[in-house]
């Protein structure tokens, strides 16, 4: 699964409140148990990662709909093994379900 997604960092590894908390628009791709981040689809096809946005390992993560987050629609939450936590906003409900299903499958 891959495509445009908005991301918000909630909790940093170790459990501290994340410092940069704004939503950012990214192009994400789930590959080999990692979510990789690109500027856009073009950069994805060139294989050029955003150097300042590290890949996230989804091994042993928890992933579910962020039903407590009311400010945006189609938002799911990812809790990583290192304790960090992110919100992701998909483009629609189907897209959100596809992300969650594939993250939980990997
Ligand atoms: C953040 C930005 C986020 C907001 C976050 C702010 O400020 O406004 O959109 O999250 O609130 O800290 P900045 O752009 O200056 O980093 P929400 O959209 O979820 O409100 P938060 O600190 O309460 O998470």
ipTM: 0.93
* C-beta 21 within 6 A of ligand 1: yes
- Residues 7, 86 contacting (CB under 8 angstroms): yes
Q: In this predicted model, what pLDDT tens digit does every residue of 51-87 receive, in sequence order? A: 999 999 999 999 999 999 999 999 999 999 999 999 9
Category of 47 on φ-ψ map: left (φ > 0), alpha (ψ -120 to 50) or beta: left
Instruction: Tell me the pTM.
Output: 0.96
Has residue 106 got a pLDDT over 80? no
| Ramachandran angles phi, psi of 64, nearest 5° | -160, 165
Q: What is the mean pLDDT of the chain?
A: 97
By alpha-carbon position, which residue is closest to atom 2 of ligand 1? 22
> Residue whose CA is closest, atom 20 of ligand 1?
71
Task: Calculate how far, in angstroms, residue 12's C-alpha sits from the geometric centre of ligand 1.
Answer: 15
Q: How far is CA 52 from CA 26, 37, 39, 49, 94, in A?
A: 12, 9, 11, 9, 29
């Amino acid at each position: 699964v891959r495509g445009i997604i908005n991301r918000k960092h909630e909790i940093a590894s170790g459990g501290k409140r994340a410092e940069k908390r704004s939503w950012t628009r990214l192009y994400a791709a789930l590959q080999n148990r990692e979510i990789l981040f690109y500027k856009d689809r073009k950069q994805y096809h060139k294989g050029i990662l955003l150097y300042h946005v590290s890949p996230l390992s989804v091994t042993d993560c928890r992933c579910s709909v962020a039903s407590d987050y009311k400010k945006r629609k189609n938002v799911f939450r990812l809790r990583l093994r290192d304790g960090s936590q992110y919100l992701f906003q998909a483009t629609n409900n189907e897209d959100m379900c596809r992300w969650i299903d594939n993250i939980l499958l990997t």
